[in-house]
Structure 1
Amino acid sequence: MVKRTLTDKLAILSDAAKYDASCASSGGEKRDSRDGKGMGSSGGSGICHAYAPDGRCISLLKILMTNFCIYDCAYCINRASSRVERARFSVEEVVSLTVEFYRRNYIEGLFLSSGIIRSPDDTMADMVRIARNLRQEENFRGYIHLKTIPSASQELIDEAGKWADRLSINVEMPTEKSLTEFAPEKSAKNIRQSMAGVRMRREESRSGPSFRGKRPARFAPAGQSTQVIVGADGASDRTILTQSAGLYASYGLSRVYYSAFSPIPDPAKALPLKPPPLVREHRLYQADWLLRFYGFGVEEIGGGSGMLDLEVDPKTAWALEHRERFPVDVNRASREELLRVPGFGTKTVGRILAARRRGLVRYEHLKAMGAVMKNAQAFIVAGGWSPRGMLEADALRARFAPQPQQMALF
């Protein structure tokens, strides 16, 4: 076996982690540091090289503990039969890297996943040791996101939630049939049992004090998330979104992440040769937002084919298919009706409702409220504005679909 330097390991295991999209810290809270000497607080928000709600770009050290794996999942670059370079960090090396990267102001936290070595419990135990050592020995108060290992014992997952801000376990495929076909060592039942256990422990941790006044211990305060691979099997967008809606309802997930399948080096023969259009992943995120915050049902999204429109965002596609529901009068429509208007976000709708109590909302007011008027104007009536037949225009869809040269750029 080749002896690798720490730099070599970091190059291999940070690159191997790029296929995991479920890396987020939104909703995290500052951990208590009674002596005022804690380090690494990120203010409770942020994701790997992305933007926090306040606009800050937050960075996490995103690595695998190892890319050795005893499983042979067809879609995974680190599967047992893959001929990739292998490396493995020790517990002490991950702790040291995290602390040193923080001290150099490179990161504000850690996202840690791993291939499965020896057994799920052995792997999960090492990941728990990393989180525990960071908290107890290094007094690290930054954000920690741990990927829980399928089939690991509930006791280990319970301890992981004690030290980590967020836990996640990937469902990976849109259906149990696909998971069985592409990852026969993994069990959809075990994955869901782990999710249920995390939800139960989180609910217990958020309950009030006991009759003796003792508050329950914190447990994964930023929640749990999961990831589904899009385009590796033949599942439709509606099938994917149906699974997501069920996961949100059953396990109280903070996020479902969608990862467009990308052909990997040394691919398994069962996988498609070409990736799905990347815009499909983007449309799924938009549709997911409609399900969670805009009152849409899965049956309303995707049209007769069950696939999202790649040229037009899901809300606009729905509005174009239901022109009889428009235009809506912004001064009289209900919140539910306003949320269905293309170009109106949840904050804009809240501002409209507040402004209506003070007087007439005019067209020129809407842009100041954050509305995207290019998208909204055909679907609304406001003070000083009427769409004047725009809804009936045959060319209305063309206003929203990108031009061919624009598509080529993205």
Structure 2
Amino acid sequence: MNGTIIAQNLGKRYKYYNSQRPATIMEAALSGFKFMQSVQKFWAVKDVTIEIAPGEMLGIIGKNGAGKSTLLQLLGGVIQPDEGQVMIAGRIGALLDLAAGFHSDLTGRENIYVTAISAGLTRREVTQRLDKIIAFTELENFIHLPLRTYSTGMMMRLAFSVAVHTDPQVMLVDEFLSVGDLAFQTKCLNRISELKAQGCAIALVSHSPDQIKSLCNKALWLSRGQMAAYGDPETVIQQYVDAMRLETRKRTPTSHPSVKTVSGFELKVNKNRFGSLEAEVLSLQIQTPNQDSVVETYGGRPLRLLIDYVAHSPVESPIFGISISDTKGVNCYQTNTSLADVALPTILGQGRIALEIECPNLETGQYFIDVGIYEKDWSYSYDFHWQVYPIIIQRSNTLVSASSPSQKWELLSV
């Protein structure tokens, strides 16, 4: 059946070589070929069995180095397995490498022809679809320029547009949607959803648990190349998040000076503060858009949350998040920069990030705004403050969404 991906007991093994391995034949001969042998072997992917039917999407999640990209390369036939087998039925649209299939000296238009024909279209079919492909990229003013003048985001637009206009029955997407602006990312996600509805089988690597839960029928959590969990996205993601919480507790210092918040609460590690503290939340200010302090508000009213932080060493692509919990600790609402598709740069030293949001329309009562900084793969928390920033929320009589109010994240200083 076209639009099917099946992998059975898939495995890929690589070799480690000695750091003193000769770079040339001459160096090898002079050393008596002493360091030519591999030191050890490791499995990048081991015993992976999955099946994606037509119209299904598999979300693949895991830490960096877990084997996610290797698995997609195996599925796409870019590399061959050392164990197991892959069966793909249908035309493949693969977004595994921005540079794959592109020629830097050719124009964007010429590259469309080269990559689309390589994907299985005839020249006539490419010509018939050319205007649609270019329009989707929104690069009309640059399409006649050589590719070497394109930014990474522009190349992503071109590659994605070609891939989704070649009638793929199978799509392999490797963290591609982390490149480019938010509006185009949303456009890409909408197009992927359309392909899924048309019967395309899709494998998507993502660092966003929320993205996988909202888009995918199945989820695979890879850990050190092996299947840690596979099946229902809600269940798999919960297991992944639980593992992150356990890792956070392991990394949280046993002792650390307590801190008083402006609201009078005392922050204590392993009580209401958890994380490695490589980066710390210094304060959370709850304000109106006019920068007046807020202790009470109504559902639907705008809030401005200012998070001051310090990173004691470079922290790559952190995730900032807030949640609202009631006095019993029940989580009523949450959001984060990953869910909002806001990619942050490496942070070091002190900085500030702001979130402008409509307050969720919850039942009248006291709540707490919880705040955290997380490792880019959600592996653990750098710092998480729980139930120390109180706010009273009055239920509004106007119709306001309790689950998805509008929001805007902004990095003010770094």
For this structure pair, what is the TM-score category when the shorter chain's length is used for normalisation? under 0.3
Q: TM-score, normalised by structure 1?
A: 0.23
Bigger strand share: 2
Bigger helix share: 1
Q: Which fold has the larger relative contact order, with Cα–Cα distance below 8 Å and residues 6 or more apart in sequence?
A: 2
